[in-house]
């Protein structure tokens, strides 16, 4: 038996555990994580995405202090209240790790960037961003692990098979080895890696859900000098484009000035991502261009769709495919010889030169090409023949579960938080969701 079970040791689960343990030391809290503890984590293979710290442990630690970016908590919580919580979480991150750099575009610059974006057919989204850096984020996660060591029982390398309930109330969980832990409160925080599992649990529990879009696209890499006039002010510049051809939403995501492109492995699927260090630089900047694919009845499996496209790319490239933009626009594949002639030097060693048009749907590829042309009007050089495209990048989100403002579900005692709930899409809002759920539990107990 336990008082509270937390599923998943990503930022949502960790911050929920910290809030609970710090507020009421008498609580018996069990945190179950399917991956390794922090000291045994690895940057390679599937271990990169699971374990203490979750999928964000090897990100570059971008904290976007905005109610409009990084999740949908603002649909449940008033903006003023959410902003206070975001600032509180930002302060907590900097308490455990070097503060890094805080980027906030001044109003005059924001007006100018907004006007330039409009002329290019784009929407500029002003944001306040703190960049901690990959190495410093790991320092923070180690400190949090040490702080919770004698306050929370952490069970690593163990999956949760099922959330148990009876009579509309949560009863605990069944672990992968058959062990049952009873508890009147369960906080599910499985993260993006556990999105498919969370969707299946929601069906078994009879929770009301609706599909989130799947974000599908490419990782773009180019010389850092091309984007320097933007990233020096905002670090991560966020732009949205509504394509002329299909009226789809295309957006920049996870911009990494002077960063590197990396491989992610999710089960048997290999995808691509990027990050930046705090204390070392490459000569390139990378960012994702993602198209939000929305589906209507009768199709209700956006996660399966994204997985199928990723598997097709893996089949063609035996992993990640890289292509010069000039080759893509010319209707030819990139070869090893053509890649050698590219003036943008790839920061990803293990990528196969190929042709992304064989695996990305025409609609999505058209959206991306339009977006690159628009960005080139803001940052000349983006649409260069020597810009590198890596594929594919895909972001899986659980079907969004119907939750109240306290992140409670229709099952009494069951809270669902973070990316696994389909309501957050980044470190800071995921962390906020953990605190919200923890405070809700504490208030219910008292």
> Residue 229: helix, strand or coil by DSSP?
helix
| Cα dihedral: 434, 439, 445, 446 (round 10) | 170
Quote the pLDDT of residue 408.
95
My answer on whether 250 and 174 are in the same domain is no
> Would residue 109 count as lying in a domain?
no
Closest among 288, 301, 229, 52 to 157, alpha carbons compared:
52
Is the pLDDT confidence value at 266 over 90? Answer: no
* Domain enclosing residue 25, as ranges: 4-97+132-209+400-445
* 160 class by beta-carbon count within 10 Å (0-12 exposed, 13-18 middle, 19+ buried): buried
Tokens at 287, concatenated? 């960012």
Q: How far apart are the first and last CA of the chain?
A: 20
Q: Is residue 117 part of a domain?
A: no
Whether 111 is in a domain gets the answer: no
Q: What is the tally of structural domains in the chain?
A: 2
CA nearest to 352, candidates 317, 389, 391, 310: 317
pLDDT at residue 398, as a whole number: 67
Q: What is the pLDDT of residue 204?
A: 94
Average pLDDT in the 96-103 region? 82
Report pLDDT for 445: 65
Clarify whether residues 184 and 232 are in a common domain.
Answer: no
Do 349 and 263 lie in one domain? The reply is: yes
Are residue 181 and residue 75 in the same domain, yes or no?
yes
Residue 99's pLDDT is what?
A: 76
Sign of CA dihedral 44, 269, 192, 59: positive
pTM above threshold 0.85: yes
Query: What dihedral angle (degrees, nearest 10) is formed by the CA atoms of 424, 425, 431, 437?
Result: 10
| Burial category of 343 from C-beta neighbours within 10 Å (exposed 0-12, middle 13-18, buried 19 and up) | exposed
3-state secondary structure of 176: coil
Both 342 and 199 in one domain: the answer is no
Q: What is the pLDDT of residue 344?
A: 97
Maximum alpha-carbon separation in the chain: 68
Answer whether residue 29 is part of any domain.
yes
185 and 274 housed in the same domain:
no
Average pLDDT in the chain: 92
What lies within 8 Å, CB to CB, of 340 at 6+ separation is none
Do 301 and 413 lie in one domain? The reply is no
Percentage of residues of the chain with pLDDT beyond 90: 71
Query: Are residues 368 and 286 both part of a single domain?
Result: yes
Sign of the Cα torsion 142, 92, 404, 129 reads: negative
CATH at 75? 3.50.50.60
Read off the pLDDT of residues 57-75 as tens digits, 9 standing for 90 and up: 888 888 999 888 888 899 9
Which of 15-19, 294-298, 315-319 is modeled with the greatest confidence? 15-19
Do 156 and 33 belong to one domain? yes
Kindly state whether residues 91 and 200 are assigned to the same domain: yes
| 278 vs 4, residue with greater confidence | 4
286 in a domain, yes or no?
A: yes
Q: What's the alpha-carbon Rg for the chain, to the nearest Å?
A: 21
Give domain status of residue 273, yes or no: yes
H or E element in which residue 427 lies = helix 427-445
In terms of domains, do 409 and 298 share one?
no
Place of tokens 């905005």: 66
Measured at the CA of 404, the angle between CA 1 and CA 18, to 5 degrees, comes to: 45
Residues in the chain, overall count: 446
- Is 78 buried (19+), middle (13-18) or exposed (0-12) by CB count in 10 A? exposed
Sheet containing strand 4-7, edge to edge, reads 153-155, 29-32, 4-7, 186-188, 414-416
Tell me: pLDDT of 446 over 60: no
Closest by CA position to 121, among listed 374, 398, 424, 392:
374
One domain, residues 415 and 374: no
Cα separation, 224 vs 326, in Å, equals: 19
pLDDT band at 47 (very low <50, low <70, confident <90, very high): confident
Q: Contact at 8 Å (CB) between 287 and 390? A: no
Mean pLDDT of 418-436: 90
Q: Is residue 119 part of a domain?
A: no
Question: Is 271 contained in some domain?
Answer: yes
């Amino acid at each position: 038996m336990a008082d509270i079970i937390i599923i998943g040791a990503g930022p949502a689960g960790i911050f929920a555990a910290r809030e609970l343990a710090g507020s009421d030391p008498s609580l018996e809290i069990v945190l179950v994580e399917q991956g390794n503890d922090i000291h045994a984590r690895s940057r390679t293979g599937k271990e990169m995405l699971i374990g203490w710290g979750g999928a964000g442990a090897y990100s570059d630690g971008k904290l976007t202090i905005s109610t409009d970016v990084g999740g949908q908590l603002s649909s449940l919580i008033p903006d003023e209240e959410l902003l206070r919580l975001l600032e509180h979480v930002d302060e907590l991150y900097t308490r455990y790790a070097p503060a890094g750099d805080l980027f906030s575009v001044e109003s005059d610059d924001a007006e100018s960037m907004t006007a330039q974006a409009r002329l290019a057919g784009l929407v500029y989204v002003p944001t306040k961003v703190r960049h901690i850096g990959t190495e410093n984020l790991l320092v923070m996660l180690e400190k949090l692990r040490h702080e919770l060591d004698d306050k929370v029982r952490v069970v690593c390398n163990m999956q949760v098979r099922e959330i148990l309930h009876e009579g509309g109330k949560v009863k605990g969980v069944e672990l992968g080895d058959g062990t049952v832990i009873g508890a009147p409160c369960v906080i599910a925080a499985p993260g993006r890696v556990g999105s498919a599992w969370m969707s299946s649990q929601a069906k078994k529990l009879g929770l009301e859900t609706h599909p989130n879009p799947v974000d599908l696209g490419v990782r773009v890499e180019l010389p850092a000098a091309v984007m320097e006039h933007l990233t020096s002010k905002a670090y991560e510049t966020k732009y949205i484009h509504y394509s002329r051809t299909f009226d789809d939403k295309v957006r920049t995501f996870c911009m990494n000035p002077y960063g590197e492109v990396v491989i992610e492995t999710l089960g048997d699927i290999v995808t691509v991502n990027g990050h930046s260090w705090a204390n070392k630089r490459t000569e390139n900047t990378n960012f994702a261009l993602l198209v939000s694919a929305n589906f209507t009845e009768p199709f209700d499996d956006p996660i399966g769709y994204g997985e199928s496209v990723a598997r097709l790319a893996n089949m063609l490239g035996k992993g990640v495919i890289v292509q010069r933009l000039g080759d893509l626009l010319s209707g030819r594949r990139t070869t090893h010889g053509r890649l050698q002639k590219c003036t943008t030097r790839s920061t990803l060693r293990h990528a196969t030169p190929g042709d992304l048009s064989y695996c990305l749907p025409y609609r999505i590829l058209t959206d991306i090409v339009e977006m690159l042309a628009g960005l080139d009007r803001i940052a000349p050089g983006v649409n260069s023949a020597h810009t590198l495209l890596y594929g594919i990048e895909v972001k899986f989100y659980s079907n969004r579960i119907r939750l109240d403002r306290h992140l409670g579900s229709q099952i009494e005692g069951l809270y669902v938080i973070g990316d696994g709930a389909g309501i957050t899409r980044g470190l800071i809002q995921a962390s906020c969701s953990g605190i919200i759920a923890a405070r809700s539990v504490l208030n219910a107990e008292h």
